[in-house]
Structure 1
Amino acid sequence: MLNSMQSTTTLHNGVKMPWLGLGVFKVEDGAEVVNSVKTALEVGYRSIDTAAIYGNEEGVGKAIAESTVPREELFITTKVWNSNHGFEATLAAFDVSLEKLGLDYLDLYLIHWPLPSQGKFVETWKALEKLYKDGRVRAIGVSNFKVHHLEEVIANCEIIPMVNQVEYHPRFNQRELHDFCKRHGIQLEAWSPLMQGGLFEEPALVEIAKKYNKSTAQIIIRWDLQTGVVTIPKSVKPHRIGENADVFDFELSQEDMDIINALNQDQRMFADPDDFNRV
């Protein structure tokens, strides 16, 4: 049931993951990220999503350490960056991230990008499998993987990814990828769910927002959840962090869901994973 901040989805290994979390992409390390995470935890968020490349793992860790929320109630995600693909490099990168976060274990560790030009993502995945088997992380997954990347992992590894975190919003609903993930028990997770504000003035969404007395951001987040997609909207503004979480007291009708689904244009805002090779 999607009726509270405590609502969770169960990953294919039995681990429960909150449907809603806070993303901290481009949130400055130090006071900004510490305050954002603390605000989110006070509002009721329990899932925080960071990454090595964000440069703010230490701040996230500081906020967690200063919070009164028990560690076992939190769901902390970080990601291995492209420059650390490969078995040993990934294991070393995990240790660095864990130390910066000040944690004994992670809840979810992701490969940030497939980086096909290096051809190491299967090897990198095998490092995640080791971390999982060793009990150092409760769940493992990938980010920005397309169907053919997932097929390669599934064909060559022991464990199917539990999560695939991808660009996902009403203009880019990744239907084929979502269907593939459903078939294989992979939980889809949305980054940039609000298209960095690019959908706030979309007439269809504005109209629906008026109908439910909600903001367009709240309508988009609720659409994510009702399509079965975990979502991690980013904000550093306390009122916005709270507003983004206020999506559990209403439900979009099927008619309105269909209107939002029809906004899809297969429009990426960011890089195609087959072409993104930044290290």
Structure 2
Amino acid sequence: MATLPNLFRLTVLAVLLAFLVQPAWFEPLLKPLVQENAPAVYNQGSLFWLTVLHLRTVFVATVAATIVAVSLAIIVTRKAGAEFLPLSRSLVNIGQTFPPVAVLALAVPIYGFGEKPTLIALFLYGLLPIFENALTGLTTLPPTVMEAARGAGMTGRQRLFRIELPLALPVILTGIRLSVVISLATATIGSTVAARTLGEVIIAGLQSNNLAFVLQGGLIVGALAVLIHDALQGLERAFAGRAHI
């Protein structure tokens, strides 16, 4: 039998999908939030495809940030790369030092309007949590396991891919989860530079003083964040259980 939290997640998912596919069904609920004759449901594009494009932007930026951040963590946890730890920390902190709006302002003159400046901002903003968690995961491995791997004659590469990364994976996934949740919300500002995200809905609502539009954009992003957060948290638990077998 599904637990109450699981039933809640399934309900949120079902309502979200229904709203994205048939938003007109929810018009009576949203009508009291708008002025007379104003549209209650976003009508300047497909909410479904805006959501798909929003998720695609977050996915691409997160994959890129994961590859770079985990690679840096691997390098600085090797004996030959330990001296680069301070430099690596400085690099991944750039995204947290500069607000995403500032990154967009700097990237638009170089790359133009569209998705690219948003990807750069999300990439930089997502590096720190993934890097720090990967670093923690790789530096807190059980010494007995590492000694056993060396005693079995494993090479450094074999230890990394067969022992270190699998054991550190739950902690790395925690960093990815944090990065994704941050990026889901931050991606909305990409619409200020013509990126196709759910920020379009919020901006349209602000420009027309339409509270229903603002609410729709915010609730969709919030629902996505809750569902993806829980899904990644479930993956963490699954891999953590495998790591302890």
TM-score of the superposed pair, with normalisation by structure 1: 0.21
Q: Between Structure 1 and Structure 2, which shows a larger proportion of helix residues? A: 2
TM-score of the superposed pair, with normalisation by structure 2: 0.23
Q: Between Structure 1 and Structure 2, which shows a larger proportion of strand residues? A: 1
**Higher-RCO chain (CA-CA 8 Å, sequence separation at least 6):** 2
